Amino acid sequence: MGSYITVMVDLVRPVSDPGEVTLNSADALQQANINLNYFNNDLDIIAIQEGIRYSYDVLKHGDGFKDIILDEYPWEMPLDDDELMKRTVLDRSQTSFHPCGTARLSKTIDQGVVDPALKVHGIQNLRVADASVIPVISDCRTQNSVYMCAEKGADAIKLDHRDIYAH
């Protein structure tokens, strides 16, 4: 089997325009159109490339690693060819499974989907209280932010229904 180390380079502050989710129909069972819009801005690709190069430098030359790193697996990264490296990054990148902002919170419908009370603009009796309302991706795992959105949503519902949730 052998011993391996896995290194991941994450882009926690992308500058690419946000993606979008649009509906094909009113049928809830029909697949929506999802455009993640990853790497829409070349600065994101450059940031990932430089992060990879830095990681390689630490692993190949850094004290504590240089004597134990023997080879690359399952493929070598083309560090000296920007165009080939860009294609490799585009081909092999994946999400860290913490998407957010697809129904972002805003004061107006022009800037987002839900208002500060988490009500969907222009729709009655519908709120969203999950990671999709977070307007800007956080620098960390989204779990705590999602808890906060859920608590805010619960408080807003209780406030709107004081007759049911009286202390």
**Mean pLDDT in consecutive groups of 10 residues from the start of the chain, 167 residues:** 84 86 89 91 97 95 89 88 96 82 91 95 94 85 90 94 85
- Cβ contact 77:52 at 8 Å: yes
What backbone phi and psi angles, to 5 degrees, belong to 142? -85, -5
CA distance 140 to 65: 26
Q: For residue range 87-114, what is the model confidence (pLDDT) as tens digits?
A: 999 999 988 767 788 899 999 999 999 9
- Cβ contact 44:11 at 8 Å: yes
pTM of the model: 0.73
Q: Among 5, 89, 104, 90, which Cα is nearest to 52's?
A: 89
pLDDT score recorded for residue 53: 97
- Cβ contact 119:152 at 8 Å: no
pLDDT score recorded for residue 167: 66
pLDDT score recorded for residue 140: 75
In the three-class reduction of DSSP (H, G, I as helix; E, B as strand; rest coil), residue 48 is classed as helix
Number of continuous H segments (helices) and E segments (strands) in the chain: 3, 2
